[in-house]
Amino acid sequence: MDIGFIGLGNMGAHMARRLVEAGHKVIIYDTRQEAIGNLAALGAVAARSPKEVADAAETVMVSLPTPDIVLKVATGPDGVIEGKRVRHFVDLSTTGAVMAQRIFKLLEAKSIVQIDAPVSGGVRGAEKGTVAVMASGPRADVEAVEPALKVIGKFFYIGERPGAGQTMKLCNNVLSAAATAATAESMVMGVKAGLDPRIMLEVINASSGRSTATEQKFPDVVLTRKFNQGFTVGLMAKDVNLFLSEAKALGLSAEVIEAVAALLKLTCDELGPEQDITTVVQPLERRAGVEVRDRAPKAV
């Protein structure tokens, strides 16, 4: 299958690489020449614009950071919408249902079917091909691209409605964000009270409080002070705010997630939105006067 792939960031580069290694002809584009060069060296074909990608492939996938960028790449000047060959636009990004529906209608006018297929599982999952792929759109069109999506990760068909996959992704991501934020508060309190954070995590992971935050993020990334989970606090704040917007549109309240959004905003304001999501613990540490880190071994 000829597949276009636009957006070769932390997630996209790994997903595009897996498609190349699976034997697909992959036509790539990114604003960073270095990212293009790395994949071209593995056999991908470089393009000079989203339109050029869409001229060369019936299926074009994108993995991009924000809804506005997805909209521009899909429907802007020199965008995918101007391509001569494209028939399927597969959005692996997190844009929210409202934007997905907007892009669907704009592309539909040009006989291009938009399929929203956001992924979750982090950089490690993208690298290993274990991310969850949450696809929605017309059933026959989704089935046409399903084999390629199964190369990327574990495939789930969410439904016919444009944007359904996006809603599913937001529901997942707010749980991840809430677990990370709550774990940060719990760990800071325990350390302030004199507990060993490594022992805390061992107990929590043998108990009912465990989550991906306690099982992987905190032991591997926070206690070691690496803060390199691979997903920025700014992007998580974007996803959480998209969830809040959709909840509000449905007439729902979301007090817990609003509190999570507030902590993410505080972290963005104090440390910057480009910092790793795990740095959400740092504003709490500063206020408590402690650090959640591995304790130095005692001298013998």
CATH no. of 2-161? 3.40.50.720
Output the pLDDT for position 25.
Answer: 97
The catalytic position among 169, 226, 265, 298 is 169
Measured between alpha carbons, how far is 217 from 196 in angstroms, rounded to an integer? Answer: 17
Asked if 121 and 130 touch (Cβ cutoff 8 Å), the reply is yes
94, 131, 126: which is closest to 237 by C-alpha?
94
SS3 182: helix
Output the pLDDT for position 265.
Answer: 98
| Residue 297, phi then psi, degrees to nearest 5 | -60, 145
What are the extents of the domains in the chain? 2-161, 167-288
Binned at pLDDT 50, 70 and 90, residue 158 comes out as: very high
pLDDT tens readout for residues 173-206: 999 999 999 999 999 999 999 999 999 999 999 9
The pair of structure tokens assigned to 142 is: 């989704």
The pair of structure tokens assigned to 13 is: 């580069």
The pair of structure tokens assigned to 120 is: 């979750």
DSSP annotation of 276 reads: B
What distance, in Å, lies between the first and last C-alpha atoms of the chain?
62
Domain 167-288 fold is N-(1-d-carboxylethyl)-l-norvaline Dehydrogenase; domain 2 (1.10.1040)
Q: What Cα–Cα distance (Å) separates residue 215 from each residue in 77, 209, 210, 243, 258? A: 45, 10, 7, 25, 25
The DSSP bridge partners found for residue 62 are: 6, 91
Task: Please say if the pLDDT value at position 298 is more than 80.
Answer: no
Tell me, yes or no, if 226 is annotated catalytic: no
Please name the helix (run of DSSP H) or strand (run of DSSP E) that holds residue 88, with its range, or none: strand 88-91
Binned at pLDDT 50, 70 and 90, residue 295 comes out as: confident
Number of residues that make up the chain: 300
Output the pLDDT for position 297.
Answer: 64
288: CB partners within 8 A, 6+ apart: 188, 189, 191, 192
The pair of structure tokens assigned to 20 is: 């190349």
Positive or negative, the Cα torsion across 21, 22, 25, 27?
Answer: negative
Asked if 274 and 268 touch (Cβ cutoff 8 Å), the reply is no
Mean pLDDT (the chain, rounded)? 96
